[in-house]
Structure 1
Amino acid sequence: MKAYLFLALAIVTEIVGTSMLKSSDSFTKLYPSIATVVCFAAAFYSLSLSLQQIPLGTAYAIWSGVGTALTAVVGIVVWKETANLTTALGIVLIIAGVVILNLKGGAH
């Protein structure tokens, strides 16, 4: 259970880091740039801790899939990026892929 908390922390810090990356304006703004580096370092460290108990394929599928889907949602909500049926379908397919990999994947 603790490993999944580290994985959740890795996802959250990666999402915040990605949002700060957009705020950094190509690393031209100091504080968002620092936040980007700190968040990505925390994300990778947390991911490494989760890998002590979660198989690599499972952890990476969850981290990348959930991270991608939630980052798209943050882009829509926070950054006012456009959303359409294609965006929604893409998010659903990402989540479905993560679920399928975790149900029947070779990582177990």
Structure 2
Amino acid sequence: MLFLMFVLAIGSGASGTVLTRASNGFRRVGYSLGAIAAYGVATVMLALLLQRMPVGIVYAVWTGAAAVVLLAIDRVAFQVRTSGPQLVGVAITIVGVALLGTAVQA
């Protein structure tokens, strides 16, 4: 159950960020409303996770995983280039999130 909550929190947070970009500074109403709704779902999921786990673990896993997801979206959808050192950072982040994620199983 915790894993699913993390997936929803990460996915909705990343979706909110992409929708915020698409909203063009909240000038496009549909994307703006989508961003607000997505961030709302992320906030609810985080609140539920924080009832069950320490804030440091929840926040670190959520932000680290979302950062990796958003980098991948930038690279694929917006053709943003990623340097070698940045890819090393992504790999380190993935390992860190995986190690912190072991607390989800505990």
Q: Do Structure 1 and Structure 2 share a fold, with TM-score over 0.5?
A: yes
| Aligned twin of 1:88 | 87
Q: How does 1:1-108 map to 2 (within 5 A)?
A: 2-101=1-100
- In structure 2, distance between residues paired with 1:102 and 1:73: 20
Partner amino acid for 2:49? S
> Separation in 2 of the partners of 1:103 and 1:6?
15
**TM-score under structure 1 length normalisation:** 0.84
Tell me the SS of whatever aligns to 1:25: coil
Structure showing the higher helix proportion among its residues:
2
Count of residues paired in the alignment: 104
* Letter of the 2:75 counterpart: I
Q: Please, which runs of 5 or more residues in structure 2 have no aligned partner?
A: none
1:96 Cα deviation from its structure 2 partner: 2.8
Report the TM-score when normalising by structure 2.
0.86
RMSD of the alignment, in Å? 1.9
For structure 1, the 5+ residue unaligned runs are none
Aligned to 1:20, the other structure's residue is in SS state helix
Do the aligned partners of 1:3 and 1:52 also contact (CA within 8 Å) in 2?
A: no
Q: How far apart, CA to CA, are the structure 2 residues paired with 1:100 and 1:3?
A: 15
Percent identical pairs in the alignment equals 25
Deviation at 1:97, TM superposition (A): 3.0
Contact 2:61 2:100 in 1 (8 A): no
1:5, 1:66 → 2: CA distance? 14
Separation of aligned partners in 1, 2:43 and 2:101: 21
